[in-house]
Structure 1
Amino acid sequence: MQRHELTDKEWDLLAPLVPAAATGRPRVDDRRVINGMVYKIRTGMPWRDLPHRYGPWQTVYTRFRRYALSGVFTHALQQIQAQADAAGDIDWLVQIDSTIVRAHQHAAVNGRNRGCIGRTNRNDQALGRSRGGLTTKIHLACGGRGRPLALLITAGQRHDGIYAQPLLKRIRVPRLGPGRPRSLPHHVIADKAYSSRGFRAYLRKRGIRCTIPEKADQQRHRHNRGRQGGRPPSFDRETYRRRNTVERCFNTLKHFRGIATRYDKTTASYEAAVSLASFLIWARSL
Structure 2
Amino acid sequence: MIPLPNLNTTDVLNITQLEFLAGKLPKPNAHTGRPSYTTLELLPGILKVLRSGMRWRDLDRKNYPSGVTHWRRLRFWELRFGLKKTWNSILQKLHNLKRLNLNVALIDGSLVPSFNFLDTTGYSGKYKKTGTKMSVITDFSGTPFNVVFASGNKHDMPLAIPTIANNSVGKPNTILADKGYDSDKLRYRLSKAGIGTNIPIRNIKNRKKQENYNIPLGKMRFKIERTNAWIKSFRRLHFRFDYTLASFQALTYLALIVVCIRKLI
Q: Per the shorter chain, which TM-score range?
A: 0.7 to 0.9
Q: Provide the C-alpha distance between the structure 2 equivalents of 1:9 and 1:285, rounded to a whole number of angstroms.
A: 13
Pick the aligned partner of 1:43 from 45, 52, 66: 52
**Residue 20, structure 1, aligned to residue 27, structure 2:** yes
Hey, what does 1:79 align to over in structure 2? 89
Hey, what does 1:171 align to over in structure 2? 167
Q: Provide the C-alpha distance between the structure 1 equivalents of 2:107 and 2:14, rounded to a whole number of angstroms.
A: 30
Greater mean deviation of Cα atoms: 16-25 or 256-265: 16-25
1:213 is paired with a residue whose SS is coil
Q: Which amino acid aligns with 1:257?
A: R
What does 1:101-116 correspond to in 2, within 5 Å?
Answer: 101-103=112-114, 105=115, 108=116
Unmatched 5+ stretches in structure 2: 1-7
1:170 deviates by: 2.4
1:13 deviates by: 2.4
Pick the aligned partner of 2:134 from 135, 138, 144: 138
1:48 deviates by: 1.3
1:262 is paired with a residue whose SS is coil
How many percent identity over aligned positions? 25
* Count of residue correspondences: 251
Tell me: higher relative CO, structure 1 or 2? Use CA pairs within 8 A at least 6 residues apart.
1
Which whole-Å deviations, capped at 9, do the CAs of 1:132-185 have from their partners, x for residues lacking one?
Answer: 432122110011111111011111121100110011122112xxxxxxxxx201
Unmatched 5+ stretches in structure 1: 111-121, 174-182, 224-231
1:270 deviates by: 1.0
Pick the aligned partner of 1:199 from 178, 186, 200: 186
Q: Provide the C-alpha distance between the structure 1 equivalents of 2:28 and 2:254, rounded to a whole number of angstroms.
A: 20
- Relative to the length of structure 1, the TM-score reads 0.81
Q: Which amino acid aligns with 1:154?
A: A
What does 1:56-75 correspond to in 2, within 5 Å?
Answer: 56-75=66-85
Q: Provide the C-alpha distance between the structure 1 equivalents of 2:151 and 2:11, rounded to a whole number of angstroms.
A: 29
Which whole-Å deviations, capped at 9, do the CAs of 1:56-113 have from their partners, x for residues lacking one?
Answer: 222111111122223532111111111111111101121000112211x4xx4x6xxx
Hey, what does 2:101 align to over in structure 1? 91
1:220 is paired with a residue whose SS is coil
Hey, what does 1:113 align to over in structure 2? none
Q: Which amino acid aligns with 2:15?
A: D
Hey, what does 2:5 align to over in structure 1? none
Which whole-Å deviations, capped at 9, do the CAs of 1:207-251 have from their partners, x for residues lacking one?
Answer: 11110011233x72447xxxxxxxx45310111111110000011
Q: Provide the C-alpha distance between the structure 1 equivalents of 2:96 and 2:190, rounded to a whole number of angstroms.
A: 25
Q: Provide the C-alpha distance between the structure 2 equivalents of 1:200 and 1:150, rounded to a whole number of angstroms.
A: 20
Q: Provide the C-alpha distance between the structure 2 equivalents of 1:199 and 1:241, rounded to a whole number of angstroms.
A: 21
- Relative to the length of structure 2, the TM-score reads 0.87
Whether the 8 Å CA contact 2:144–2:227 is kept in 1: the answer is yes
Q: Provide the C-alpha distance between the structure 2 equivalents of 1:88 and 1:137, rounded to a whole number of angstroms.
A: 30
Q: 1:5 to 1:27 in 2, by over 3 A?
A: farther
